[in-house]
Amino acid sequence: MTDQNRRTGAVDGLDGPLDVSPARILHGINALLYNKAFGLVLILLTGLLSFIGVLLPQKPPGVADDPERQAAWLDTVRETVGGWTPVLDALGFFTMFSSVPFLIVMGLLAASIIACTAHRVPILWKAARHPHTRVKDRFFDVAGLRTRFPSREGVDETIQVVIADARRHGMRAVVDDRGPGRSVYLDRNAWMPFGTAVAHVAFVVIMAGFVVSTLTGFRDDQFTLTVGHPREVGHGTTLVAEAREFRDTYYDNGAPKDYVADLVLRDGDRVVAEQEVRINSPLGHDGVMFHQAYFGVAAVMQVSDASGTVVLDGGVPLEWSTQDKMFTYGHVPLSDGTVLYVIGAASGRTGTGIAPGQVKIELYQGEQTTPIASSLLDMGVATKVGQHTFTFVREQQFTGMIVRRDPGAPIVWVGFTLLVVGTCMTMFFRHQRLWVRVTEDEQGTLVRMASPDRRDSGFTRFVTDLVERVSTRLASTDERKVTDD
């Protein structure tokens, strides 16, 4: 124990002051992030959460924003998951890829990749700009790829022939005159190891693209438009969409051949886009894409409250089917919180109690499963049910579309491009190194070449060709000298 420890009462420095400076803390965090074991744990956690997300049912787009649809969806999931349903829902496992745990793990993984890349870049830079040019003599006896041959020329002449040939074939030459003899370090593709850094950055860019899409984009797989009835797109946009016309054609066997919606988009009173939308011909405007997905029949309804104010004047798409396939139905909330269900007989079904030209309506309050009122409506006849008056105006076609905005897609494509570039740099343009030493021995001049890159068959052939060219060149030089003499 030192005198200082005796005076302060510290035991082996354990009772000394703890360094909690910001620099020390940041250094510790950085060391943790580029730790390989920590990175492996994050990769395993990402894989586990992704597996859970694939294994468990995920909420369809738009369900989380609609309490009624969410409650109905959770009821269907409860049949499979059981009592764990509320727990898994609270943890975000039914929206795994946008849940807080998943985003935290992905954020840590991105930070770990950045830290590892930042830690490795200076090493790559030093290897490219200031390579290790000097090796021990034993290296030329144990390297995976090695060769030696004599030269009748002097050391200086021989090394110059080697350097000139290497440079003619695209290699960099760095001379080392520290002895013994003369040495030169040869390499090519010195910057290609940076491909690993590019690939690592690519993963971060791809993850950033997915996060941007998750947090700022949207996707609605069930955006329905009744022909002739405009509807707000929502999702933070000011767009209003309208299907002016819908056409469907069929093959002789009854299979759908083509279906197309004449779609127009307005922003206020201004038409901003219009197009005939097919399956593979979406309409796009300001990053919002409209894809044709499905179609069916809607019931055009007019609903007024007790004061005579019209609270609904539009189509209710009958896009859902009962389990027995006897009925089709759709639903829409009314201004007082009541949910209106409109029910029709499925195509080709008889004995349903709903005749052609009729629909049945049911009114539900809140999350109740029993209707508070119901009635059978004839087309064109106003019928008072509860506090509202309902009129079934007519049947009309509707088109179902997938509406999405994916602002992260360009970022993801940039990431994939970087990934391809980085992978190609690493796999197809390997950093190839060769150490050459020329020394005098009892029999004249000895040329030794060695490289640790024995597994690279292409480089092995290159070195073989280099040796053949250099030895031939040296031999021809010697012959010319003899002839001159």
Residue 73: pLDDT band by 50, 70, 90 thresholds?
Answer: confident
Give the domain range for residue 152.
Answer: 131-190+431-482
Average pLDDT of the residues of the chain: 87
In tens, the pLDDT along 432-456 reads: 999 999 998 877 889 999 998 767 7
Q: Do 354 and 205 fall into the same domain?
A: no
Q: Lowest mean pLDDT: which of 6-15, 61-70, 193-202, 372-381?
A: 6-15
pLDDT of residue 17: 62
Which of 120, 147, 165 finishes a domain?
Answer: 120
CA-based nearest residue to 60, from 213, 231, 219, 211: 219
Domain identity same for 322 and 293: yes
Under DSSP, the state recorded for 189 is -
The pLDDT of residue 485 is 36
pLDDT of residue 476: 63
In the predicted structure, residue 16 carries a pLDDT above the cut 90: no
Q: Is residue 42 part of a domain?
A: yes
Where does residue 191 fall: left (phi above 0), alpha (psi -120 to 50 degrees), or beta otherwise? alpha
Q: Give the residue-averaged pLDDT of 416-432.
A: 93
State both tokens at 107: 């954020």
* Range 411-429 average pLDDT: 94
pLDDT surpassing 50 at residue 481: no
- The whole-number pLDDT of residue 479 equals 43
Is the pLDDT at 210 greater than 60? The verdict is: yes
Q: Are residues 384 and 299 in the same domain?
A: yes
* 249 plus 270 within the same structural domain: yes
Query: Does 5 reside within a domain?
Result: no
Kindly state whether residue 99 falls inside one of the protein's structural domains: yes
This prediction's pTM: 0.72
The pLDDT value recorded for residue 410 is 93
Closest by CA to 316, choosing from 396, 261, 234, 222, is 396
Share of the chain above pLDDT 90, in %: 52
Q: Is 8 inside any structural domain? A: no
Token representation of residue 468: 């053949």
Query: What's the gap between Cα 443 and its chain centre?
Result: 64
The domain boundary residue, chosen from 95, 120, 145: 120
Are 70 and 201 within one domain?
Answer: no
Q: Are residues 46 and 146 in the same domain?
A: no
Q: Over the range 310-349, which residues count as b (16 or more CB within 10 Å of their CB) and which as e? A: eebebbbbbbeeeeeebbbbbbeeeeeebbbbbbbbbeee
Of 90, 120, 150, the position where a domain reaches its end is 120
| One domain, residues 66 and 208 | no
Does a structural domain hold residue 18?
Answer: no
Do 67 and 200 lie in a common domain?
no
**The pLDDT value given to residue 20:** 64
Q: Residues 141-171: pLDDT tens digits?
A: 999 899 998 888 888 999 999 999 999 999 9
Closest among 104, 101, 82 to 90, alpha carbons compared: 101
Confidence band of 12 (pLDDT split at 50, 70, 90): low
263 within domain boundaries: yes
| ∠ Cα 198 201 205 (to 5°) | 130
Residue reference for tokens 């300001």: 286
Are residues 306 and 385 both part of a single domain? yes
> Are 301 and 401 found together in one domain?
yes
Residue 143 placed within a domain? yes
Instruction: Give a yes or no: residue 293 inside a domain.
Output: yes
pLDDT at 483 over 90: no
Least trusted range by pLDDT, from 43-57, 127-141, 440-454: 440-454
Confidence label for 415 from pLDDT (cuts 50, 70 and 90): very high
182 and 115 within one domain: no
* Residue from 301, 448, 459 nearest 383 by CA: 301
Tokens representing 323 are: 């389990």
Structure confidence at residue 18 (pLDDT): 58
Q: How many domains does the chain have?
A: 4
Task: Report the CATH number at residue 436.
Answer: 3.30.310.80
Whether 353 and 390 share a structural domain: yes
Give the whole-angstrom CA distance, residue 152 versus residue 155: 9
